[in-house]
Chain A
Amino acid sequence: MPHISALYGAARHMGDAQAAEDLVQETYLRAWKYFESFDPGTNCRAWLFRILRNVWVDRWRKARLEIPLPDESGVALEPYYDWEGGLLGNEYSEEVGQALSELPEEYRWAVLLADVEEFSYQQIAGIMQCPIGTVMSRINRGRRMLARLIRSGAEGSPESKRKKVRDPLEKI
């Protein structure tokens, strides 16, 4: 079944194993139901990811009444990474998994779609249904926040240290 592992991999990082199975199953059922709306000239994987994202929004985000991220479009990008000087260790897979799970969900989506699925910004904007400028800022901030979280994890920091990692949008 094409693309199912990619969808499951992403879904698995947006919820636990059971939630991921439900998400992917519902995604395929919706895709089957609305297949007529798929334009054969476009990317099927991106179309499926858009459905996955919609299912996720419908089922989980609304249910939890999560406070959405503030509008990022007017906030300047962060040009510098604060890991300069080789702050990351050689092996940081474990920290990456943990850090990814701590990343705010909208940033996590952006990072997964850009870094793992390697969609273009245009496609990510279609999947996340937001302007390209928002995609750019989410990827930009998501990566930097991920790097900070990994670093705090790699330094063996306790939870208290982790909590110091702020959303870059948060007002000081």
Chain B
Amino acid sequence: MDCKEFREILDLYMDGELAAEGVAAANAHVSECPGCRAVHEELSRLRRSVQQIVREHNAPSLLVDRIRRQLMPPWRRVLAPAALLILVLFALAAAGASPGARGLVARSMEFVAFHLDPPRLVELEGQLVCRDCELKALYGAKTMCLLKGHRGALKTADGKIWNLMEGEHTEALVHDDSLRGKTIHIRGKIYRRAGCVEVQSYRIL
């Protein structure tokens, strides 16, 4: 094979489109001819450079998500909300059956809540109450407040009683009896799993 012949089949050689004997002849020529070797190397570099340029574009994750959603079969699109609705109805029905079933439902809902609501910075508003006294009033819990002193907690409008973590901003809130019954606005981090708030700042309304 001479230079002219090699240049004519250079693209085919590069692209693996030559038959075995053609490849052998081209290999032999490249090993002997510095000029053709240089051209072949330049073309290889050009190919690598084009590959590099094109492959630096990755499909945006939002595009992938959008396509995945659109490719979801229609029955799944309908079934997913339907299954959730059935589950909620079943849970509500079971909740009426017995205290054990209610407990199971409550625990399941808590489990979901823990995973839906990771610790995060929030603002809460509610009434400062003694946690144990509230439980006594609500459920007749046996409390030791008279002996050990009251312990301040925040009761929000939904009836949830949030414990306040001990810290530099919570001394008065937890232990100052004169603040009990007041409406407080708290900024802090909630830990739903422990029913607890880490207070960063607060103001009395």
State which of B58-66, B87-95, B128-136 sits at the interface with chain A: B58-66
Which chain B residues border A136 with CB–CB below 8 Å? 11-12
Tell me, yes or no, whether B81 is within 8 Å of chain A by CB.
no
Tell me, yes or no, whether A9 is within 8 Å of chain B by CB.
yes
Tell me, yes or no, whether B7 is within 8 Å of chain A by CB.
yes
Which chain B residues border A1 with CB–CB below 8 Å? 59, 64, 67-68
- The answer to whether B45 and A9 have CB atoms under 8 Å apart is no
User: Which of B38, B45, B46 gathers most chain A CB within 10 Å?
Assistant: B46
Q: A139: nearest residue on chain B (CB-CB)?
A: B11
Binding site for B on A (CB under 8 A): 1, 4-5, 7-10, 12-13, 20-21, 24-25, 28-29, 32, 77, 79-81, 83-84, 86, 88, 92-93, 96-97, 100, 111-112, 114-116, 118, 120-121, 136, 139-140, 143, 146-147, 150
Tell me, yes or no, whether B19 is within 8 Å of chain A by CB.
no
- The answer to whether B50 and A100 have CB atoms under 8 Å apart is yes
A-B CB contact pairs (8 Å), 28 listed: A1-B59, A1-B68, A4-B59, A5-B57, A9-B54, A9-B55, A28-B70, A29-B70, A77-B8, A77-B11, A79-B7, A79-B10, A81-B10, A81-B42, A83-B39, A83-B42, A84-B38, A84-B39, A86-B42, A115-B46, A115-B47, A116-B50, A116-B55, A121-B17, A139-B15, A140-B11, A143-B43, A146-B50
B51 CB contact (under 8 Å) in A21, A24, A116: A116
CB distance from B7 to the nearest CB of A (A): 4
Tell me, yes or no, whether B52 is within 8 Å of chain A by CB.
yes
Number of contact residues on B: which range applies?
Answer: 35 or more
A143 CA to B59 CA, complexed, in Å? 26
